[in-house]
Structure 1
Amino acid sequence: MDNPVPTRATVPRPSYRGRLAPSPTGYLHLGHARTFWIAQQRAEARGGVLVLRIEDLDPGRCKPQWTAAMLEDLRWFGLRWQEGPDVGGPFGPYHQSGRRARYEAALEQLKRSGWVYPCRCSRREVAAAARAPHAEDEDEPIYPGTCRPEAGGAVRAADGPCHWRFRVPDGQIVEFSDAACGHQRFVAGRDFGDFIVWRKDDVPAYQLACVVDDAAMRITEVVRGADLLKSTARQLLLYRALGLQPPAFHHCRLLTDPSGRRLAKRHDDLSLRTLRLHGWQPEQIRERWDEPDLIAAFARVPGR
């Protein structure tokens, strides 16, 4: 078994740089607000910079009206950033839709080094495969290897539209220390499999775009939800394959609804926009969001 993948390089890092990275696919909810507020607090405590990056790669789901609403709600809640699409900065553009050339260059680098291969399997086919039911990862089940080339074999050229998958080194231990969740350990090929870095509809996947942008924007710490711990393991493999230095990580606990489901943008009654319309103030929300019955309280009380 290989040695664990390192998470930090020994070269000096720049001063603290954090980021907010929302996707304009709907109204922001309480979970977003709490995670973003923690990100801002951590940046301020270290005298650092907070970057706003709009993750709008998916043209089918990301709409300009959601971007405008998102910026308004972030400002209303008291979030402030020093770099972003509305204030500029040295590492723009700050919309992912304007950064495609960077993702294409990273994909070509992965192709040249043999880390990726073309795949025509649909999500339904992967989910139906024998190994998939054993995966607890809700966003990308373990790939059964249908299109995976033989070890050491040449990566064939794509013939028509296809996904590009990153070939994980089976048995590779991926470890990192998370500032909120403590020591994390995943095994490639067991806890997660070969993952998509470029979609069949010619859209860069989250894992690749996130790594490329966080490195290019010199982010030193990524603050995000605990549902992305396994994504961090995948991304650390991408950092290594691309020769990039990974940031530190802080994964926040998730807010859940009364049934135990994590909040999503479908929870319109718990969006910042709805709470604002019902008379809630940002200070009130922040005072109560660590209460055990937080979600039930916000859902049933339409104001003060």
Structure 2
Amino acid sequence: MTSGYIGRLAPSPTGLLHLGHAATFWTAYQRAQEHRGTLLLRNEDLDPQRSKQEFVEAMLEDLAWLGIEWAPPIVVQSRRVQLYREAFARLLAGGFAYPCTCSRRDLALMVQAPHEESDDEPVYNGHCRPVASASSTAIEPGMNYRLRVPDGETIRFSDRNLGAQSFIAGIDFGDFLIWRKDGLPSYQLACVIDDAAMGITEVVRGADLLKSTARQILLQRALNLQSPAYFHAQLLRDEHGVRLAKRHDALAIRTLRQQGVAPEMVPMIAQSLKTR
């Protein structure tokens, strides 16, 4: 008999899965088993330049090799763009979002808070932010859109692994991207919509996404969606102390498989990297 627990795996097919992914996904699998719950799989393929079918096939093979099981069907983000567009339209109508004309070069030249390893989006300086919020239902093509954050408000949540967390809007993170000029949602918006639509009760992911959780809580609030619980896992690092990424080919699951490493050895190898 299953409980009401629903977790998820959310890999992106932009490269081979590595030990860091394996450790986080194994934790998600164990959490679902401990709660006698359900684990779902989401293919986060919203990067059209880097997402490849060969990586989709590889991640499915690697997860199966690790012994990680999930309940069908697989959710594919590229097939759900209309759902994201409808949510984005609601944000526009509610006055939560505004268009941004800043180029990547503009953003690079702005005075920003130091770029942190734990965050993939620097603090925006509000260059395109309008003086007052205004509702609109028109989506301008070829335009980026940002969510206006409540400057000075502390966003708090209790992480089931790392304890109490808090981030200040406008200081720790600024107005963040929610819709891209190529007509696709940002990671933040797509993640929030899918977690809600899939009925996810606990999100297990890496500690590098702690600040993203604060952003996503603001999106959930604006869209009247319930927030799931969060469990952020410790990151794995290489011999130089750098967190693992898809560039670490030597620690890719596919490479370990080719070297004859047994699946049951992977959690022990991952644990050794956690202690560095």
User: Above 0.5 in TM-score?
Assistant: yes
Deviation at residue 256 of structure 1 after TM alignment: 0.7
Aligned partners of 1:223 and 1:251 also within 8 Å: yes
Is 1:164 aligned with 2:145?
A: yes
Measured against aligned partners, the alpha-carbon deviations of 1:256-275 in whole angstroms (never above 9, x if no partner) come to: 11111111111111000000
TM-score, structure 1 normalization: 0.86
How far apart in 1 are the matches of 2:133 and 2:234?
41
How far apart in 2 are the matches of 1:164 and 1:259?
37
Deviation at residue 288 of structure 1 after TM alignment: 3.3
Give aligned-pair identity as a percent: 55
**TM-aligned CA distance change 1:155 to 1:254, over 3 Å:** same
**TM-aligned CA distance change 1:237 to 1:46, over 3 Å:** same
**TM-aligned CA distance change 1:30 to 1:134, over 3 Å:** closer
**TM-aligned CA distance change 1:162 to 1:285, over 3 Å:** same
Of 222, 225, 248, 2:229 maps to 248
How far apart in 2 are the matches of 1:21 and 1:135?
25
**TM-aligned CA distance change 1:69 to 1:159, over 3 Å:** closer
Is 1:76 aligned with 2:65?
A: yes
2:263 match: 282
Is 1:21 aligned with 2:2?
A: no
Deviation at residue 294 of structure 1 after TM alignment: 7.5
Deviation at residue 144 of structure 1 after TM alignment: 1.0
2:220 match: 239
2:76 match: 95
How far apart in 1 are the matches of 2:194 and 2:137?
28
Q: Which runs of 5+ in 1 are unaligned?
A: 1-13, 86-93, 296-304
**TM-aligned CA distance change 1:152 to 1:32, over 3 Å:** closer
Aligned partners of 1:168 and 1:189 also within 8 Å: yes
Of 183, 195, 204, 2:176 maps to 195
1:198-277 equivalence runs, <5 A: 198-277=179-258
Aligned partners of 1:165 and 1:194 also within 8 Å: yes
1:63 match: 52
How far apart in 1 are the matches of 2:167 and 2:16?
33
1:36-51 equivalence runs, <5 A: 36-51=25-40
- Provide the aligned length of Structure 1 versus Structure 2: 273
Deviation at residue 59 of structure 1 after TM alignment: 1.1
Residue identity opposite 2:192 in structure 1: V
How far apart in 1 are the matches of 2:269 and 2:128?
49
Q: Which has the higher strand share?
A: 2
Please identify, of 281-290 and 220-229, the stretch whose mean Cα deviation from structure 2 is larger.
281-290
1:106 match: 87
Aligned partners of 2:97 and 2:148 also within 8 Å: yes
1:95-134 equivalence runs, <5 A: 95-130=76-111, 132-134=112-114
How far apart in 1 are the matches of 2:223 and 2:156?
18
Aligned partners of 1:118 and 1:157 also within 8 Å: no
Aligned partners of 1:175 and 1:184 also within 8 Å: yes
1:176 match: 157
TM-score, structure 2 normalization: 0.94
SS of residue paired to 2:73 = coil
